[in-house]
Structure 1
Amino acid sequence: MRHTPRYLMTDPDEVKRLIRANAWATFVSPATTGLVASHYPAILDEDAEGIVIVSHFGRPDEVAHELGRHEILVIVQGPHDYVSPSWYAPGEVIPTWNHVTAHLYGTPEFLSDDENYEMLAKLTDHFERHRPGGRSLADDEAGTRRVAKGTVGLRIRVDRFDARAKLSQNKAPDVAANVIAHLDERNPGLADEMRRVHPGGPTA
């Protein structure tokens, strides 16, 4: 990503917060056949030190990615949206795009079948626990274990990351407040991210 110091996210805890809130990730591998990309949910291993994510690939995606043979890139994208110059002072005409994004780098380790099933159960619970009538893999363990054999579980210890929170830090407080007010109507998640770096701005 473009190196702009004012937008850098260097706090691992902030990157963890981004991952927790945005589980849909893009996995990119430099395979011998060329670049390969896939999209899967990823969650944090909350018991591990540092930033460690766990996920799964549907077979035979792990072969196409040549997982375990090289470092891969995992992209986590948070709230993002177009910012119109009409939200700035009269005469300004250059638009931009605000976003929160993290690039995570590490070499995947394969999970055992039991570890994979445990991870899939946690992943399901992550999304089902707050839903009325939420389901669990334990509701049909024999059946879900058979389905799980079509997936490959993986753990990635993030060796390094490159993250940005581009949230109008280059704008005056009154301009940023106006951007937040507009985003409250169309993208409240991004507006909330902006409030984190512009305290004292308008509340929803």
Structure 2
Amino acid sequence: MRHTPHYLLTDPEEVRRLIRENPWLTIVSHTAAGLVASHYAFLLDEEASTGDDIVLIGHLGRPDEVAHELGRHEVMLIAQGPHGYISPSWYAPGDIIPTWNHVTAHLWGTPEILSDEENIAALDHLTNHFEQHVDEPRGLHLDPEYSRRVARGTIGVRLRVSRFDARAKLSQNKTPEVVDRIVAALEGEGPYAHPGLAREMRRVHDPRDS
């Protein structure tokens, strides 16, 4: 990403929060055939993700593991949080240049291939993680034999993040008055309303409101 020191996001816990709230990640590999990208849900390994450590558990559908040459080299995962257009009409008079606010993290590591048992456990955890929020949750335990057959079409991975590069570009270069107008517009009903992005801005500019 563009090197913008005043937008740097360096706190591992904030990166973990970004992933918890936005688990649909992009995985990018530089392979012998060129660049390959895929999109999958990843969850934090909460027990292992402490201090500066970030460990992710996920899976790929076969044969994506072949396309990515999985486990043979480093890959990059991209986590994308709320993002949106910021109109200069929300700025001070005379300011005419728009921008795009976002929260984004690039994470690098070499995937470890999970065993079949670890993979089914990871898939079970993934399903239960999201199903807990619905009225009548369903899980792999309802039909273990069928679930194991389906799981054979996937390959589980663990990724221990070796480094990350993250940005929270949220109008930190604007005055408090302009920030208030931006937040109000994002929370309004206009064409670029984005309450999620407004919440991220409040976290940066007034943590008491988050």
User: TM (normalized to structure 2)?
Assistant: 0.94
Alignment pair present for 1:68 and 2:71: yes
User: What SS does structure 1 have at the residue aligned with 2:41?
Assistant: strand
Equivalences for residues 92-103 of structure 1 within 5 A: 92-103=95-106
Q: Which residue of 130, 137, 149 corresponds with 1:127? A: 130
Q: Which amino acid aligns with 2:90?
A: W
Q: Distance in 2 between matches of 1:23 and 1:76?
A: 7
Match of 1:143 among 143, 146, 161: 146
Long gaps (5+) in structure 1: none
* CA distance in structure 2 between the aligned counterparts of 1:133 and 1:42, rounded to whole angstroms: 23
Aligned residues: 203
For normalisation by structure 1, the TM-score amounts to 0.97
Deviation at 1:200, TM superposition (A): 7.5
2:88 matched residue in structure 1 = 85
- Structure 2 counterpart of 1:199, which letter? D
Q: Please list every run of at least 4 consecutive aligned residues from structure 1 whose deviation after the TM superposition is greater than 3 angstroms.
A: none
Question: Superposition pairs for residues 36-51 of structure 1, below 5 Å?
Answer: 36-49=36-49, 50-51=53-54
Read off the aligned partner of 1:100 and give its amino acid letter. Answer: V
Q: Point out the more displaced range, 135-144 or 61-70.
A: 135-144
Amino acid corresponding to residue 29 of structure 1 in structure 2: S
Q: Percent identity?
A: 64
In the TM superposition, what whole-angstrom CA distance separates every residue of 1:32-85 from its partner, at most 9, and x where no partner exists?
000000000011001114100011010000000001111000000000000000
Gaps of 5+ in 2: none
CA apart distance, 1:141 = 1.1
**2:102 maps to amino acid:** H
Matches within 5 A, 1:143-162: 143-162=146-165
Render the CA deviation track for 1:89-144: whole Å, top value 9, x for unaligned: 12111000000000000000000001000001111111110111111111111111
Distance 2:70 2:184 in 1: 44
